[in-house]
């Protein structure tokens, strides 16, 4: 087990990201001294990567941070269709790799590498994500923001990247109360099973016996969405499924997924999907 420590603030900063699709026999490129950190997140299939004399097999939901001053290479081609995200990032502060799981020990033993800092992130070099779907959504946000005009896009990318670091920071995960995670899971499950109904802030507070602000904090920290955002996501996801797999009218689909107002459904669909429900259906049916 190897850990990477980043002194903060400022936090490591986002440079660029993307998604790669490999078919049987494709290989990750070999690189000498990329001069930036390369975070790999596998979504489907597997990758067999090496760094200097170490190697790792990455399966779906697993991550690997390749260091900027090392030699990176493909150990062998992929054996099945593989999809993975990559994020390039950098830091202006001190960092260090170690097999010791306690950052205080690192600071004491490596005073020449570390300057005093208010906080030190501790991220496992190769890890299994606790919430892979949330991580995928965050990287998709970075990728989508990359298509927008700066400077707004910069803050969207950096904010999503910092949320991803928060998920991966061991100290944050260890200190996060289990009750908060359990609450987030219960709320997520409730929304998925009741998205067709009217879900209000007051209703959630009564059902789970927590203040709505705490419910929002829990869901946002674990899944990356507020309750209202997650309700909208689930409804639109279900609407897309019905658009592609049924011949129901737009009005029927809107009602089926919980929208009382048809124009509001169309406006929300355009805002989040980028096109009207009719054009979405037509594009894939043709």
Q: What is the pLDDT of residue 38?
A: 97
- The answer to whether residues 48 and 188 belong to one domain is no
Q: What is the pLDDT of residue 112?
A: 43
- The answer to whether residues 148 and 51 belong to one domain is yes
> Which tokens is 109 given?
């033993």
Of 147, 171, 195, at which residue does a domain stop?
171
pLDDT at 28 over 50: yes
The CATH number of residue 37's host domain is 2.60.120.280
Q: What is the pLDDT of residue 1?
A: 72
The rounded mean pLDDT for the chain is: 86
- The answer to whether residues 257 and 186 belong to one domain is yes
Better-predicted residue by pLDDT, 200 or 171: 200
- The answer to whether residues 204 and 103 belong to one domain is no
Count of structural domains within the chain: 2
Q: What is the pLDDT of residues 94-146, one digit of tens each?
A: 899 988 765 453 443 344 444 445 788 889 999 988 888 889 989 999 999 87
Which range is least confidently modeled, 54-63, 98-107, 183-192? 98-107
Per-residue confidence band for 19, with pLDDT thresholds at 50, 70 and 90: very high
Per-residue confidence band for 181, with pLDDT thresholds at 50, 70 and 90: confident
pLDDT at 178 over 80: no
Beta strands 54-59 and 71-76, pairing class: unpaired
- The answer to whether residues 117 and 20 belong to one domain is yes
pTM for this predicted structure: 0.60
Looking at the DSSP bridge assignments, the partners of residue 21 are 83
Distance between CA atoms of residues 19 and 29, nearest Å: 14
- The answer to whether residues 51 and 188 belong to one domain is no
pLDDT at 263 over 70: yes
pLDDT at 182 over 70: yes
- The answer to whether residues 29 and 161 belong to one domain is yes
Range of the domain at 14: 3-171
Q: What is the pLDDT of residue 116?
A: 47
Q: What is the pLDDT of residue 107?
A: 41
Q: What is the pLDDT of residue 172?
A: 73
- The answer to whether residues 146 and 239 belong to one domain is no
Q: What is the pLDDT of residues 212-262, one digit of tens each?
A: 999 998 888 877 889 999 999 999 989 998 998 888 999 999 999 999 999
- The answer to whether residues 38 and 22 belong to one domain is yes
Q: What is the pLDDT of residue 175?
A: 54
- The answer to whether residues 148 and 217 belong to one domain is no
The CATH number of residue 205's host domain is 1.10.10.60
Quick one: which of 124, 2, 19, 117 has its CA closest to 53? 2
- The answer to whether residues 99 and 163 belong to one domain is yes
Of 152, 171, 190, at which residue does a domain stop?
171
- The answer to whether residues 94 and 227 belong to one domain is no
Of 155, 171, 187, at which residue does a domain stop?
171
């Amino acid at each position: 087990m190897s850990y990477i420590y980043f002194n903060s603030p400022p936090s490591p900063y986002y440079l660029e990201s993307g998604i790669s699709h490999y078919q049987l026999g494709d290989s990750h490129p070999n690189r000498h001294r990329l001069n930036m950190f390369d975070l790999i997140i596998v979504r489907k299939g597997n990758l067999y990567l090496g760094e200097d004399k170490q190697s790792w097999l990455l399966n779906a939901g697993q991550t690997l941070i390749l260091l900027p001053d090392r030699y990176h290479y493909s150990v062998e081609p992929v054996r099945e269709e593989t999809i993975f995200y990559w994020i390039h990032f950098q830091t202006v502060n001190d960092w260090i790799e170690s097999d010791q799981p306690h950052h205080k020990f690192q600071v004491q033993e490596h005073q020449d590498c570390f300057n005093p800092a208010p906080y030190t992130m501790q991220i496992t070099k190769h890890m299994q994500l606790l919430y892979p779907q949330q991580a995928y959504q965050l990287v998709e946000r970075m990728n989508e923001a990359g298509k927008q005009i700066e400077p707004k896009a910069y803050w969207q990318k950096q904010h999503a990247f910092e949320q991803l670091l928060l998920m991966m920071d061991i100290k944050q995960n260890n200190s996060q109360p289990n009750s908060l995670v359990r609450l987030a899971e219960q709320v997520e499950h409730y929304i998925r099973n009741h998205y067709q109904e009217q879900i209000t802030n007051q209703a959630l507070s009564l059902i789970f016996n927590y203040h709505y602000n705490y419910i929002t904090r829990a869901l946002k920290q674990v899944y990356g969405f507020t309750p209202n955002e997650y309700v909208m996501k689930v409804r639109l996801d279900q609407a897309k499924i019905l658009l592609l797999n049924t011949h129901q009218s737009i009005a029927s689909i809107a009602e089926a997924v919980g929208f009382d107002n048809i124009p509001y459904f169309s406006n929300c669909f355009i805002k989040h999907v980028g096109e009207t429900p009719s054009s979405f259906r037509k594009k894939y049916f043709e």
